Amino acid sequence: MHIAPRVLRRALAGATVALLATAVGCAPQPEEKAASAPSGTGADAASGANVCAKGKLATATTGKLTVATDEPAYEPWFKDGKPSNGKGFESAVAYAVAEQLGYDRSAVVWQSVPFNKAFAPGAKTFDFDINQVSISDERKKAVDFSSGYYDVRQAVIALKGTKAAKAKSVADLKGLKLGAQVGTTSLDYIDDVVKPTGQPAVYAKNDQAKSALKNGQVDAIVTDLPTAFYITAAEVTDAEIVGQFENQGGTPEQFGLVLDKGSTLTSCVSAAVDALRADGTLAKIEQQWLSDAVDAPVLK
Amino acid sequence: MTVTKGESGREGTDGEGDPRGGGEDAPADGYVPSRRRRERERYKRARARRATAVAALSTLVTGAVLYLVVVGAPGWPRTKETFFDGQYAREALPKVLEGLWLNVRLLLVCGAAVLVLGMLIAVARTLRGPVFFPLRVLAAAYTDFFRGLPLIINLMIVVLGVPALRLQGVTVDPVLLGGTALTLTYSAYVAEVFRAGIESVHPSQRAAARSLGLSNRQALRFVVLPQAVRRQVPPLLNDLVSLQKDTGLVSIGGAIDAVRAADIIVGRSLNYTPYIVAGLVFVALTIPMTRFTDWVTARMDRQRAQGGTT
């Protein structure tokens, strides 16, 4: 009576250990195979003449180009919250890049991926992400970037007639309560360029920064210039652009397409962006969707 | 604890069963354990040693297997540098701690306010007598509404909506407004905990107090509430820990708490390590709190047990 349960227990423990051991032995294998398959075909393509053969890239879904962006998608980068309509600067850029890579409009699939998730480790379900992500060396440690498709400037917005709206220089901003969206270079500009005396307000979304500005919880908010233009023209119409910052250290801040770290597509996508810049397509798209956001006084 | 209890229990039965007599009533000084008893104890010690060894081995094997599963995963190096990067941990820690100070202050102030308000609402809900009917209805409506309203929406309304009214003399500070929203929601939860505690005290207690000449108020104050509060400590702690984590939600209004401080570094570097740091800091804050309440509960239980025997 006493021995039977003990034997049973031992057998059970042994079985568990054996099972776990086999799990360890087996688990990585399928994943490894899955992971090596696309890179294998990539290598095959590399040994062939053209890695970036038109329409034949090793994409997440064969024959389709999956493009990701955050939801909601904001103007002027996207129009009507529908990235797939080809309207708005980034939507147009995505389709131009797709065409350059040999995928026509119908082969482009859009995916909604939150900013935070776009750079999480693990297999990506998209081929590239377009979401006003600024290229930086620090971020390059986590993801791949294509060449920059837009030179961005940061701008300050304040309600008309307030003290903040009269600022002429960066020094005039120091004493103000400033706000920006988390994870943006706008916030870096506040921290590194303005160096305000008080702690800045940091919001999860620009929407909350906008309402804080409207409510007088902050004196001014910082966004990129096209967004600033859209906010003042359409969303918070009693606000105005105080001015734009000069680029830091001479190298212009650029938005880039985000790809998985070590993606086989990076060089192809970069080449596509470079080609679009060289033939003037990017300039044309910029002219079409961002032409209004050109003039704003520079804060020295 | 359990081991000594078990042993002392056995000692009692053993004494009674001892053929040589003596047992419990025998004076302790002349007591010599019997051979059978010493044997039994030796056997028990051997079993305990064996159990410890098996447990240690089993833990070791499980740990090793878990380690191998995680480290052997194909994505481990990438995961490691994304979530466990020492350089980012060092960069994040001071900023996260600075943010945590906001969480702690909010916890202390809101925690106190929640306990007071929750108690008031619970008492209002349990008042007897037709005069108090409107008060009871109001208290019930309050708990129903704020317990049902998602905290995040409550925060949005208070932190972003109240300043939009542009009322003179009302603060626009997101921390004060956020604290108000937290207090509103959590006092509704805590009021229900208090009410459950009050109603869990058997009616005979109230009846006995009344028969001793205590007024309804005195019965509540001296008989019902002290018993109720004892039973509520664990669920109250639950709500406080929950509140502690939710204090971070005031970042909706732009305030920088521990999690938002981590967020800022994550956004710039695209490395998740600061989140891990923030998470651990919260856990480190919760554990002493739990141990403290355990200690308080144990002490109260001891006192109650003593009261019961005398």
What are B165-183's pLDDT values in tens digits? 888 888 888 899 999 999 9
Q: Is the pLDDT of residue B117 over 90?
A: yes
- Higher per-residue pLDDT: B145 or B76: B145
For chains A and B, CB pairs below 8 A equal: 107
pLDDT value for B110: 95
The number of residues in chain B equals 310
A274 to chain B, minimum CA–CA distance in Å?
A: 25
The yes-or-no answer to whether A65-150+256-299 and A154-245 have a common fold is yes
- Distance, in Å, from the CA atom of B156 to the CA atom of A185, rounded to the nearest integer, reads 25
- Distance, in Å, from the CA atom of B207 to the CA atom of B224, rounded to the nearest integer, reads 11
- Higher per-residue pLDDT: B108 or B18: B108
Put simply, the answer to whether B253 touches A212 (Cβ < 8 Å) is yes
A29 to chain B, minimum CA–CA distance in Å?
A: 8
pLDDT value for B208: 94
Residue type, B7: E
pLDDT value for B22: 46
- Distance, in Å, from the CA atom of B83 to the CA atom of B70, rounded to the nearest integer, reads 13
- Distance, in Å, from the CA atom of A274 to the CA atom of A257, rounded to the nearest integer, reads 12
List chain A pLDDT tens, one digit each, 300 residues. Answer: 455 556 666 666 666 655 555 554 444 444 433 444 444 444 444 444 467 887 778 888 888 899 999 888 888 899 888 888 888 999 999 999 998 888 988 889 999 988 878 888 777 889 999 989 999 888 888 889 999 999 888 999 999 989 888 888 888 899 899 999 998 889 988 988 889 998 899 998 888 899 899 888 899 999 998 889 889 888 888 899 998 888 776 678 899 999 988 888 899 999 999 999 999 888 888 888 887 656 777 777
Q: Is the pLDDT of residue B1 over 60?
A: no
CATH topology of domain A154-245: D-Maltodextrin-Binding Protein; domain 2 (3.40.190)
Average pLDDT of span B40-44: 94
The number of residues in chain A equals 300
Identify the residue among B268, B271, B276 best suited for mutation to test binding to A, counting A beta carbons within 10 A and taking the highest: B268
Residue type, B294: D
The pTM (predicted TM-score) of the whole model is 0.73
Question: What is the tens place of the pLDDT at every residue in B125-138?
Answer: 988 889 999 999 99
Cis before B274 (ω within 30): no
B86 in reach of chain A (CB within 8 A):
no
- Distance, in Å, from the CA atom of A19 to the CA atom of A21, rounded to the nearest integer, reads 5
**Exposed / middle / buried, residue A295 (Cβ in 10 Å: 0-12, 13-18, 19+):** exposed
Q: Is the pLDDT of residue B308 over 90?
A: no
Residue B181: which residues within 8 A CB-CB, separation 6 or more?
B151, B154, B155, B157, B158, B159, B250
In B, which residues are within 8 Å of A24 by CB distance? 65, 68-69, 72
CA dihedral A175, A176, A180, A184 (to 10 degrees): -30
Domain boundaries, chain A: 65-150+256-299, 154-245
pLDDT value for B100: 93
Put simply, the answer to whether A199 touches B263 (Cβ < 8 Å) is no
Put simply, the answer to whether A202 touches B271 (Cβ < 8 Å) is no
**Where does A75-121 have alpha helices with state H?**
89-101, 115-118
Helix, strand counts (H, E) of chain A: 11, 11
CATH topology of domain A65-150+256-299: D-Maltodextrin-Binding Protein; domain 2 (3.40.190)
Average pLDDT of span B186-201: 93
Question: What is the tens place of the pLDDT at every residue in B224-269?
Answer: 988 888 888 888 888 988 898 899 898 888 889 999 999 888 888 8
pLDDT value for B271: 87
Tokens of B187: 């006092």
Instruction: Give the residue from A190, A162, A168, A152 showing the smallest Cα distance to A298.
Output: A168
Q: Where are the beta strands (DSSP E) in A178-248?
A: 178-181, 201-203, 220-224, 239-245
A259 to chain B, minimum CA–CA distance in Å?
A: 13
ipTM given for this complex = 0.71
Put simply, the answer to whether B72 touches A121 (Cβ < 8 Å) is no
Closest chain A residue by Cα to residue B75: A122
Measured between alpha carbons, how far is residue A74 from residues A38, A79, A87, A259, B79 in Å?
33, 7, 11, 21, 31
Q: What string of H, E and C letters represents the secondary structure of A56-78?
A: CCCCCCCCCEEEEECCCCCCCCC
- Distance, in Å, from the CA atom of A214 to the CA atom of B234, rounded to the nearest integer, reads 43
Put simply, the answer to whether B254 touches A209 (Cβ < 8 Å) is yes
Q: Is the pLDDT of residue B18 over 80?
A: no
- Dihedral sign, CA of A59, A62, A64, A67? negative
Q: Which helix (H) or strand (E) holds B85?
A: none
pLDDT, averaged across chain B: 85
B176 in reach of chain A (CB within 8 A):
no
